[in-house]
Amino acid sequence: MKQLYKELDTSIAKALDFLKDELSSVRAGRAHPGILDRIMVNYYGTDTPLNQMASVSAPEARLILISPYDKTTIPSIEKAILNSDLSLNPSNDGKVIRLNLPLLTEENRLKLTKLVKKLGEESKVTIRNERRNVIETIKKMEKDGDVREDDSIKAQEEVQKSIDKAVADIDKLVENKTQEIMAV
C-alpha cells in the first residue's frame, strides 16, 4: 500500500509541477522571461530551447530583452518568436532582440483566463485518472485476498483525501493566475 501512496503522490506532484510550468508561460499584464520558455529555435537543424541560446530578461514592465550568445542566431530566434502563439513582434539592433508587450485588451484577458481554466481542468483529469488506477489496484488486491475489506476502504478514503487536496491546490493555482491576468 505504501508503494501505491508513493506513486500517487509522485503523480500528483508531477501534474502540479506541469501545471505551474504551463501557467508561468501564460502571459499576464507584466513582462517576464517565463513566457518564452516554450519557444524552440531551429539551431543548425536542431530544435533548441530559446533560454539555452540566449539570456532572457525583463528590464521593464512591458519589455523583454533577449541577448543571444551567438549573434548569428538572431534571425532564427526572431522567426521562432513570430511563429509562436504569443503574437509578439521582435525587433533587433544586431546585438539584442527587444519584445515590446502591448497592453492586454479585455478580450485577450478573457481568452487567457479560458486557457488557464482549460489547463487546470486538464490537470484535474490527469489526477482523477491516477485516482481511478490506484483504486482499481486496491480493489484487485482486495479481491485477490492481499488486503482485507476494511483496509481497502480506508486506503480508498486516503486516496480520495489526497486527490481532494490536489484538486484544491489546482483550483488555487488557477484562481491566482486568473486574478493576475485580470488585474489592470
Per-residue pLDDT of the chain (184 residues), as tens digits, is 788 889 999 999 999 999 998 887 776 667 778 888 888 998 888 899 988 999 999 888 788 999 999 999 999 999 998 888 777 889 988 899 998 887 778 888 888 889 899 999 999 999 999 999 999 999 999 999 888 999 999 999 999 999 999 999 999 999 998 988 887 6
The helix (run of H) or strand (run of E) holding residue 150 is helix 149-182
Any idea where the domains of the chain sit in the sequence?
A: 2-24+105-182, 37-100
* Spatial distance between the Cα atoms of 19 and 39, rounded to a whole number of angstroms: 17
The dotted CATH code for 2-24+105-182 is 1.10.132.20
CATH of span 37-100: 3.30.1360.40
Helix ranges (DSSP H) in 89-148: 106-143
